[in-house]
Amino acid sequence: MKKNIGFESLIMYSTNPDAVPQTEAATEETIEKKAQKLLVRYETKHRAGKPVTMVEGFRGTVVDCEALGKLLKTKCGCGGSVKDQQILIQGDMRQKVLDLLVKEGYTLAKRGN
């Protein structure tokens, strides 16, 4: 018996940059710094035991999130990345990142664990 395959299972590729749909995160505007509820936490899971400081809860455009990540990496003097609206800073930099966020105007930032 033949199954009916709907449009949900089709994958479409296009070389036209105008044909790519905008995602919600890309179209969302960045809320002001005072209203951002950021959580700074420490994690070693799934990273071969290497410590990482994570900043979660950023609401805004990907460009603004990457800019904040770059600022934190520069001020901490270490590496890191930005993935899925999460800022990853190498090492245990919880207190330093929290102090930098408060200094930048993110007054609702708090320490997780």
Cβ atoms 90, 19 nearer than 8 A: no
Q: Taking the domains of the chain in order of start, what are their residue ranges? A: 24-111
> Does the domain made of 24-111 have the CATH classification 3.40.630.20?
no
pLDDT tens readout for residues 39-95: 999 998 888 889 999 999 999 999 999 999 999 999 999 999 999 899 999 999 999
Q: What is the pLDDT of residue 63?
A: 93
Q: Is the pLDDT of residue 112 over 70?
A: yes
Q: What is the pLDDT of residue 6?
A: 53
Q: CA of 87: how far to CAs of 11, 19, 62, in Å?
A: 30, 29, 11
pLDDT tens readout for residues 20-39: 555 544 447 889 999 999 99
> Which band of pLDDT confidence, cut at 50, 70 and 90, is reported for residue 16?
confident
Phi, psi of 98 (to 5 degrees): -60, -45
